[in-house]
């Protein structure tokens, strides 16, 4: 189905989904990694660290999706019609995943900055 050296959007989408899943799960499973927590950190501070992971993985997913689109439709160059057709097939997936990754990045930044406050007031 894909030509040799042709970018495969499925690979970019699949890797972005993995990054998004990790980003989404980090704040929910931070307690599983307490063995890594320094003794000087509180549980709330460790929760904040999970927000950093969420933010980083969300940004990595956005970057990966942008790279996938750039490989299909290079800016400033004439695009291959097969790549344009393939992009149109995957355009919705790219957009949805990018929005989800962006929202996770915002949530991760909020947790990273205010995790202690959130943990204290909302448990």
Q: Is pTM beyond 0.85 here?
A: no
**38 occurs within a structural domain:** yes
Answer whether residue 4 is part of any domain. Answer: no
User: What is the tens place of the pLDDT at every residue in 61-94?
Assistant: 999 999 988 887 776 666 667 777 777 888 899 9
Q: Is residue 2 part of a domain?
A: no
Highest mean pLDDT (candidates 11-20, 38-47, 76-85):
11-20
The predicted pLDDT at position 3 comes to 54
In the predicted model, is pLDDT for residue 116 greater than 80? Answer: yes
Per the model's pLDDT, the better-predicted residue between 109 and 30 turns out to be: 109
Structural domain that includes position 41: 9-122
pLDDT for 70: 84
Residues in the chain: 123
Radius of gyration, alpha carbons of the chain? 18
Q: Residue holding tokens 């000087």?
A: 40
Characterize 53-64 residue by residue with b for buried, 16 or more Cβ atoms within 10 angstroms of its Cβ, and e for exposed.
bbbbbbbbbbeb
Cβ proximity of 103 and 62 under 8 Å: no
Highest mean pLDDT: which of 20-24, 28-32, 81-85?
Answer: 20-24
Q: What pLDDT does residue 29 have?
A: 87
Mean pLDDT of the chain: 86
15 part of a folded domain = yes
CA nearest to 112, candidates 66, 18, 44, 13: 44
* Position 3 in a domain: no
């Amino acid at each position: 189905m894909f030509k040799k050296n042709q970018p495969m959007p499925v690979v970019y989408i699949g890797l972005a989904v993995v990054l998004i899943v990790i980003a989404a799960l980090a704040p929910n499973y931070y307690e599983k990694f307490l063995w890594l927590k320094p003794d000087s950190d509180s549980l709330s501070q460790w929760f904040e660290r999970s927000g950093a992971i969420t933010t980083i993985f969300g940004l990595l997913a956005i970057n990966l999706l942008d790279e996938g689109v750039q490989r299909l439709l290079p800016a400033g160059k004439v695009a291959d019609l097969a790549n344009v057709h393939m992009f149109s097939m995957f355009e919705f997936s790219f957009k949805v995943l990018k929005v989800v990754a962006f929202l996770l990045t915002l949530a991760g930044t909020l947790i990273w900055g205010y995790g202690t406050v959130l943990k204290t007031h909302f448990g």
